[in-house]
């Protein structure tokens, strides 16, 4: 399964399949606004509809989906404003959120570390708005079929969403940047419809919490040193020091430069705590991810239809080609949720490669008692000592069993299943 599902554009991972749209059914109100890239107008229209019809779960689901995509749109516009390099950068590809593919800005503004923090705060606020709206959807029979790949986003903030700014084209550009070689045709995008349902409400809420946790952790620490080291790998005009081109032997030898910058990033990866309360918030979001996933799978397994499923049960056919969800995969995923829950509650300990089998790391305390983060000292073990406890340690065999159940692709399926 494609690791791109770690991105906000997660649902584009299945755009290589033809699925005939439903005939005769009235499309949901939100779709026309999404397909035409008129997200602000859609927000107003759906908000007005919910004022007169507060129990309209389809409109509520549509509004929450629109708000999530608006969060992605504002994130993209901010990245474009500062000339984000996205998947064009080798280091940029490795970082969530900033790796989203946006058009190249010919005249970007200078990006500072404070600008990056502001982008993350805005994205966090927008995700909270979407999650709150989605949480109000209660009808377990709600449906929201969407031509997802044809949705338009105004990525560069010029007030219009062009044909180059459809989700399927964004996904294709991202794949090219990541050198995955996966292309999508216009015909495939036209025929691709996802029959979003109540289970997907829970799935999208879980993704809001997952992305929020990433933002909270990033904002909890002062990562000015990281930005100074790799800022120019992420933005065209980063306000960060760099070796003058006049001193360099060969400015075209980017691979060597990328390696050197990566080494510096590791060397400087020691971040003071800046906003400690955000780590506790991140913990809360991660626990909500687990809860949403449990409810999501409960809803999936209760379904009796088989309608263009985004995540199918073992008896349904999903929209992603060539992927079958076996009963043992669902059981394994539930075991993973139980294991993750115990780790976040501190009832099980995370192993460290230098600790014996009786000692591990209390992850809950890592979030509740944050200290300066030092990547090298964590790898060494010294930074883990304050959180080390004797107790039940998460077993390596558990994780090996999950890898076996998912055919060695557990991480990819985890990003998809959420």
Sequential DSSP letters for 116-137: HHHHHHHHHHHHHHHHHHHHT-
Q: pLDDT tens digits for 294-312?
A: 999 999 999 999 999 999 9
Please, which pLDDT band fits residue 4 given cuts at 50, 70 and 90?
very low
Q: Which of 173, 138, 133 is nearest to 30 (CA)?
A: 133
Percent of the chain with pLDDT over 70: 88
pLDDT at 215: 97
Predicted confidence (pLDDT) at residue 386 exceeds the cutoff of 70: yes
pLDDT at 99: 78
For 202-236, b where at least 16 C-beta lie within 10 A, e where not — what string?
bbbbbbbbbbbbbbbbbbbbbbbbbbbbbbbbbbb
Q: Which has more pLDDT, 381 or 104?
A: 381
pLDDT at 174: 52
Please, which pLDDT band fits residue 105 given cuts at 50, 70 and 90?
very high
For 103-116, b where at least 16 C-beta lie within 10 A, e where not — what string?
bebeebeebbbebb
- C-alpha distances out from residue 78 to 34, 177, 233, 328, Å: 20, 19, 17, 42
CB-side exposure of 131: number of CA atoms within 13 Å? 19
Report the distance separating Cα 19 and Cα 191, nearest Å.
6
Give the DSSP per-residue string, 222-261.
--HHHHHHHHHHHBTTBSS----GGG-S-TT-HHHHHHHH
Helix, strand, or coil (residue 156): coil
Please, which pLDDT band fits residue 188 given cuts at 50, 70 and 90?
low
The residue-averaged pLDDT of 377-399 equals: 96
Q: pLDDT tens digits for 190-215?
A: 778 899 999 999 999 999 999 999 99
pLDDT at 160: 83
Crossing angle between the packed helical segments 327-345 and 277-302, to the nearest 10 degrees: 160
pTM of the model: 0.90
The residue-averaged pLDDT of 67-80 equals: 96
pLDDT at 363: 98
Percent of the chain with pLDDT over 90: 64
Q: pLDDT tens digits for 129-185?
A: 999 999 999 999 999 999 988 899 998 998 887 777 787 766 665 554 434 445 566
- The token duo for 203 is 């799935």
Q: Which of 101, 234, 93 is nearest to 168 (CA)?
A: 101
């Amino acid at each position: 399964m494609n690791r791109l599902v770690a991105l906000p554009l997660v649902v584009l991972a299945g755009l290589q399949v033809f699925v005939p749209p439903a005939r005769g059914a009235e499309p949901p109100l939100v779709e026309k606004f999404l397909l035409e890239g008129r997200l602000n107008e859609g927000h107003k229209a759906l908000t007005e509809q919910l004022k007169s019809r507060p129990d309209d779960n389809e409109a509520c689901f549509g509004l929450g989906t629109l708000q999530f995509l608006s969060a992605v749109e504002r994130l993209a516009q901010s990245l474009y404003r500062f000339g984000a390099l996205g998947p064009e950068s080798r280091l940029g590809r490795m970082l969530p959120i900033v790796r989203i593919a946006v058009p190249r800005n010919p005249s970007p503004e200078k990006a500072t570390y404070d600008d990056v923090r502001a982008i993350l705060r805005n994205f966090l606020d927008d995700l909270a708005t979407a999650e709150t709206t989605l949480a109000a959807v209660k009808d377990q029979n709600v449906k929201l079929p969407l031509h997802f790949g044809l949705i338009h986003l105004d990525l560069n903030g010029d007030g219009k969403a062009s044909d180059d700014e459809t989700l399927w084209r964004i996904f294709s550009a991202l794949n090219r940047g990541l050198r995955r070689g996966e292309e999508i045709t216009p015909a495939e995008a036209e025929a691709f419809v996802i029959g979003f349902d109540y289970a997907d409400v829970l799935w999208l809420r879980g993704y809001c919490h997952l992305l929020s946790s990433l933002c909270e952790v990033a904002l909890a620490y002062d990562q000015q040193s990281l930005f100074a080291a790799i800022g120019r790998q992420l933005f065209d005009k980063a306000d960060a020091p760099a070796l003058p081109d006049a001193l360099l032997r060969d400015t075209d030898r980017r691979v060597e430069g990328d390696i050197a910058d990566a080494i510096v990033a590791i060397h400087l990866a020691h971040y003071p705590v800046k906003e400690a309360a955000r780590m506790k918030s991140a913990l809360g979001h991660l626990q909500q991810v687990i809860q949403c996933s449990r409810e999501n799978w409960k809803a999936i397994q209760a379904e009796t239809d088989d309608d263009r499923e985004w995540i199918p049960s073992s008896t349904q056919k999903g929209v992603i080609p060539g992927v079958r969800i076996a009963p043992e995969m669902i059981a394994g995923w539930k075991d993973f949720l139980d294991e993750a829950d115990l780790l976040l509650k501190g009832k099980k300990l995370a192993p460290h490669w230098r600790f014996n089998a009786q000692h591990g790391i209390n992850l809950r305390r890592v979030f509740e008692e944050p200290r300066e983060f030092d990547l090298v000292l964590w790898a060494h073990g010294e930074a883990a000592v304050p959180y080390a406890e004797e107790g039940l340690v998460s077993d390596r065999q558990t994780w090996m069993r999950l890898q076996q159940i998912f055919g060695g692709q557990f991480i990819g399926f985890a990003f998809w299943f959420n």
